[in-house]
Structure 1
Amino acid sequence: MAESLVYSEVKYKKESNADTGRAGPQIKESPEDDVVYAAVVHKADHTNQPNPPTLHSPADSSPKGSKGIRRRGLLLLAVVVLILILGVAISLSLYSGCQSAKCNDGWEAHGRQCYFFSTKSLIWTLSQEECVHKKSHLAIINDEKEQKLLMEIIAPKMQEAEDKFWIGLNDKQTEGKWLWVDNTPLTNKGFWLNRQEPDNWKGKNNEYPNGEDCVRMGEIDFIANSAAGWVDTACERKFKFICEAEACL
């Protein structure tokens, strides 16, 4: 360790001729001539002194510090992205997903679709929640072939007048604008039971003031070779329901 030097300044006053008693030429002195400067060098002794504290800036600007900050930032970003991905994955798995190629126990396989036909009756909203719990959704009917297939399946399951089944169609958001549970619109005229449906009936004594915003299918006396079978119904009524999920290949 290099030794430190401390400089001191010592001033000496010149003696005048009068003080020495010597005769000699008189020299006019300037004020500065009264002082003689001498530099004295002292060696600083740090033997018993504690080391001075090291000061750090609030943000470490060294390459090592910058690298640490970047690493923490990237780690935080990775955690946020992972949380988002997990959230989307959980949502998708609860809503749609797919089942094994042969469908789960209690389900029926038809082509690439798996169908579940409930034996209990629930209101429309709870029926959809039950389907979501089963990693599926209320049935979305895409064409006449699928409509006829489902009607043929539920025909022997309807033993009583109220043995009807909710499907995933409703106009709860806007009256007359029919949407499936995946928010896709009904693009065709649908498979309504007769020309009077949907009629948004409010009941004989106005027991359904909100009208009929959900759709169920199935009538005991429907024509077997006809695709017609939808009826708009008050969502708070209880019916059986059809869940649908895609079969994994």
Structure 2
Amino acid sequence: MSDPVIYAEVKYKKGLDPNTTRSGPQTKAPVPADSSPKDRSEDTGRRGLLRLAVVVLCILILGAVIGLSLYYISLGSSAGCQSGKCADGWKSHGRQCYFFSEKKLTWTQSRDECVRMRSHLAIIHDEDEQTFLMRELNMTEAEDKFWIGLNDRETEGQWLWVDNTPLNTSFWMGNEPDNWTGDYNEYPDGEDCVRMGEENFDGKGVNAWVDTACERKFKFICETETC
């Protein structure tokens, strides 16, 4: 006699594959990191090198700017002089060097020309300096005068040197300054700039300043210090 057949009903939980065998607790697979420690280290190193390069570049630019500034400052103070001597074409008096032009320019053009030569229109401090300049001018004609760095263009009657210092010691000629506008009002703004000089100077009278219309053209005197 054969054994009896037993039937059993097997129920599976919803969502599970009946062919899948489960054993033990289930865990999620780990999500890979964005980059490995090695990659992060290389990226940090590249950023560090970039920052270093920027710093070095800034230092080089700053050094170049400082170097150029010192170079131009030295040019401005020396006007090409060497070891306390004036450059060729300049004449020495004390610690100063003077340049006496041959060409004639307006006062403004003369001022700019002196600046171009790393100097300024002459600033006269005392009678000794005035006498030296008078002797060096060597004028032979009354109108062959030279511009100096004195003017009252900003405020009438308030005379200032080109470095904006006020006039203290003056050497005006006769009734100067008179702010003359011309015989036919050809100088309506008057006379706001100063020229100096006297023909055949004999060393006695040093009062030789004359106020003149700034747009007229005369020779000029530039001044700078020895180096």
TM-score, L = length of structure 2: 0.72
Which residue is equivalent to 1:110? 93
Q: Which residue of 2 aligns with 1:79?
A: 61
In the TM superposition, what is the alpha-carbon distance from 1:88 to its structure 2 partner?
A: 6.5
Partner in structure 1 of residue 109 of structure 2: 126
- Give the equivalent residue in structure 1 for 2:134: 151
The answer for the alignment partner of 1:7 in structure 2 is none
Alignment counterpart, residue 210 of structure 2, candidates 231, 240, 245: 231
CA distance in 1, matches of 2:74, 2:160: 19
Aligned to 2:29: none
SS at match of 1:151: helix
Whichever of the two has the greater Rg, that structure is: 1
| Structure 2 CA distance for partners of 1:137 and 1:96, relative to 1, 3 Å | farther
Show structure 1 runs of 4+ deviating over 6 A: none
Q: State the Cα distance separating 1:174 from its structure 2 match.
A: 3.6
* Superposition map of 1:119-198 within 5 A: 119-154=102-137, 157-181=138-162, 183-194=163-174, 196-198=175-177
**Residue segments in structure 2 that go unaligned for 5+ positions in a row:** 23-35, 37-41
Residue type of the alignment partner of 2:168: N
Does the aligned pair in 2 maintain the 1:197–1:232 contact within 8 Å?
yes
Letter of the 2:156 counterpart: E
Greater share of residues in strand: 1
SS at match of 1:167: strand
Supply the distance in 1 between the matched residues of 2:125 and 2:46 (Cα, whole angstroms).
60
| 1:210 and 2:192 aligned | no
State which of 57, 72, 76 in structure 2 corresponds to 1:90. 72
**How many Å apart are 1:226 and its aligned residue?**
4.1
CA contact (8 A) 1:115 1:242 kept: yes
CA offsets 1:163-191 (integer angstroms, 9 cap, x no match): 1111112223343333322x231241522
Residue-by-residue CA offset, 1:59-117 (whole Å, 9 max, x unaligned): x9613322322422441453255246525743662x44241233223322222222222
2:99 partner SS: strand
Q: Which letter does structure 1 place at the counterpart of 2:51?
A: I
Worse overlay, 160-169 or 70-79: 70-79
**Do structure 1's residue 68 and structure 2's residue 62 form an aligned pair?**
no
* 1:92/1:104 CA distance change after superposition, 3 Å: closer
Which string of whole-angstrom CA distances, capped at 9 and with x for unpartnered residues, describes residues 125-166 of structure 1?
222233334332221112232122212332xx1111211111
Which structure's relative contact order is higher, taking Cα pairs within 8 Å and 6+ residues apart?
Answer: 2
How many Å apart are 1:221 and its aligned residue? 7.7
CA RMSD in angstroms, aligned pairs only:
3.4
Identity of aligned residues (%): 48
Label 1:29 to 1:172 Cα distance change in 2 as closer, same or farther (>3 A): same
Superposition pairs of residues 232-247 of structure 1, within 5 angstroms: 232-247=211-226
Instruction: Please identify, of 115-124 and 61-70, the stretch whose mean Cα deviation from structure 2 is larger.
Output: 61-70
Distance 1:128 1:193 in 2: 23
One-letter amino acid of the counterpart of residue 245, structure 1: T
How many Å separate the matches in 1 of 2:203 and 2:210?
Answer: 16
Equivalent pairs counted in the alignment come to 204
Runs of 5+ unmatched residues, structure 1 = 1-20, 40-53, 55-59
8 Å contact 1:177–1:185 — kept in the other structure?
A: no
